Structure 1
Amino acid sequence: MSHIAVERNRRRQMNENLKVLRSLTPCFYIKRGDQASIIAGVIEFIKELHLVLQSLEAKKRRKSLSPSPGPTTPRPLQLSPTPESSPFITHNNNFKELGACCNSPVADVEARICGSNVMLRTISKRIPGQIVKIINVLEKLSFEILHLNISTMQDTVLYSFVIKIGLECQLSVEELALEVQKSFTSSDVLCINEI
């Protein structure tokens, strides 16, 4: 087999594999049709699926550690200063990021400062209208939504936001995580009173 035939076969296999990857990935992850964009989109999709899997495993562990079914009292919100105890595993040893997690039986919420923006992620069961509640909370707290990504797996949904901090906003990441967490348990949108 000549070198040209081997190279032609390799390209054909690469193109077939890229078509399969593109068909398995939701369209909004892939911005353009070139190879680099397809691979970058697939990587982003796999990262999101990995986060959902970690959340489901964490909930499974929490469920197995909880006492047998019966009358249960609702677990209070748990606020941790760093995202290490969260299903959101984001390690970057090159620089320190400020972040907080607010977990409850209803949802896990992580907020962290990343450069001049805030990354906000929530994992919960699907709740009709929940995305609108979160967006209303963010807008009332003077945040501008730059990017929103929604990933679902069975009855679990992951909302990933990149938000810009408004000039009037005086919240810490802990307060932001807590306010977004409150939107999961309230029938109407909550807003922090100005200090």
Structure 2
Amino acid sequence: MNHIAVERNRRKQMNHHLAALRSLLPESYLKRGDQASIIGGAIEFVKELEHLLQSLEAQKFLSIRQQDPTIHDENSNNPTQECEIPQLPLHFQKFFTCPQYTWSSIPNTNASKSNATMADIEVNLVQTHANLRILSRKRLKQLSKMVVFLQTCYLSILHLNVTTFDPFVLYSITLKVEEGCCLNSADEIAGAVHQILGLIEQEATLCIDSRD
């Protein structure tokens, strides 16, 4: 009898929490009223709020920097000096908790240059949904090339947020892994993004060299 009472109380609490969760979700996130749909809608809503928070944090950083152009990196003794390896502004450090790729120095040899990391790249994969974050230098047609590349890999873009703070750009992308995608892990997705960014960087370098 005690076991039945405990189970009845657990189900009552679960139904109460699900009802409360459903009441907090916008209607657009509720396709049906079953438990799976409520939880799935809550996951999507939290992801949307996460992107909104990132956008607001980025706007806050840009607002502060516009008021004081010398602000770039609070850990740098010379904020206005441009370094080969840019320091990530403190407002964005928390976005990259476990990045698969981080900024690295570029060796002088051309053979090693293609292997150098040109961006902070982090991918979190949950079932068929991936959150991709990229911090890199802005390059011509960089975004359009990445979008085409992701679509070619059967990675559909569900949400895209772009924040710029010259000369860098921060991309926050929610992806859906479609059938036919050959990238089966977060590391593989990050590695593929790293490769396309490397090709974009090489093209940009060749264009600069040709103009010189």
State TM-score, norm by structure 1.
0.49
- Select the structure that is richer in strand: 1
- Select the structure that is richer in helix: 2
Looking at both structures, which has the greater relative contact order when contacts are Cα pairs under 8 Å and sequence separation is at least 6? 1
